[in-house]
A and B are shown apart, each in its own frame.
Chain A
């Protein structure tokens, strides 16, 4: 049972480049979320989804895009990378009441 799988684990981008962070879960969870983790700030919610075809913005959505075409997958797109988007990104999934399960993270550096 893989749980929540994120790819890639590490990525370096140049300013202005775009990329997609992949997230897949095999627990048939309805809810999925993306967070970014920065030193001294904990994790902050970027976007979330309450089911296939339904997404909404979290606390820090600017510069990011998401879609949810299947229950399993919830990719996060950086439209035009900026140095301020240098962070560690975590994807999470949950059933809504049993606790959120997090992936291993993607460490992104924008130069």
Chain B
């Protein structure tokens, strides 16, 4: 069964709006939580990542919020742009990042 549950499956947002994607996990041994962005026909590209010693990490318009007690983390895309239209995957692993467990993915469409 999937170790990381991701929702929603898809979302549509207007240009300038906020996109929010949520993920939940059960394995308390997970220690690294990255988000990947994938465009059609391309491989996933690392967007932003967090470790459980912090509750929030921001890089430009992208923010990860992390709730260790609830075993949940989320990606917020602020001021969404048409170029952000892509599929986003949350993932989790132990301390090292070579054994990633992925969520099912969220397709984000930003309407101009």
A18 to B102, CA, bound (A): 28
Residue in A4, A42, A94, A96 whose beta carbon sits within 8 Å of that of B102 in the complex: A42
In whole Å, how far is B98's beta carbon from the nearest beta carbon of chain A?
4
Interface of B is mostly: loop
State the total of A-B contacts with C-beta under 8 angstroms: 72
Asked if B43 lies at the interface with its beta carbon under 8 angstroms from chain A, I say yes
Asked if A80 lies at the interface with its beta carbon under 8 angstroms from chain B, I say no
Asked if A50 lies at the interface with its beta carbon under 8 angstroms from chain B, I say yes
- Whether B98 pairs with A31 at a CB distance below 8 angstroms is yes
Residue in A41, A96, A105 whose beta carbon sits within 8 Å of that of B96 in the complex: A96
**Highest count of chain A CB atoms <10 Å: which of B6, B34, B46, B89:** B46
Residue in B4, B36, B104 whose beta carbon sits within 8 Å of that of A40 in the complex: B104
- Whether A48 pairs with B99 at a CB distance below 8 angstroms is yes
Asked if A21 lies at the interface with its beta carbon under 8 angstroms from chain B, I say no
A50 to B9, CA, bound (A): 33
Interface residues in B86-107 by Cβ distance below 8 A to A read: 89, 91, 95-105
- Whether B96 pairs with A44 at a CB distance below 8 angstroms is no
In whole Å, how far is B97's beta carbon from the nearest beta carbon of chain A?
5
- Whether B97 pairs with A99 at a CB distance below 8 angstroms is yes
Q: Which 3 A-B pairs have the closest CB atoms?
A: A42-B102, A31-B98, A102-B43
Beyond A35-B102, A50-B98, list 20 extra A-B contacts (CB 8 Å): A4-B43, A31-B97, A33-B99, A40-B9, A41-B2, A41-B104, A42-B2, A42-B102, A59-B101, A92-B98, A92-B100, A94-B96, A94-B98, A97-B97, A99-B34, A99-B97, A100-B100, A104-B42, A104-B43, A105-B43
Interfacial residues, chain A to chain B (CB-CB below 8 A): 4, 31-33, 35, 40-45, 48, 50, 58-59, 90, 92, 94, 96-105
| 23 contacts across the A-B interface (CB closer than 8 A) | A40-B9, A41-B104, A42-B6, A43-B91, A43-B100, A45-B100, A45-B101, A48-B99, A58-B99, A94-B96, A94-B97, A94-B98, A96-B98, A97-B97, A98-B97, A100-B100, A102-B44, A103-B43, A104-B41, A104-B42, A104-B43, A105-B42, A105-B43
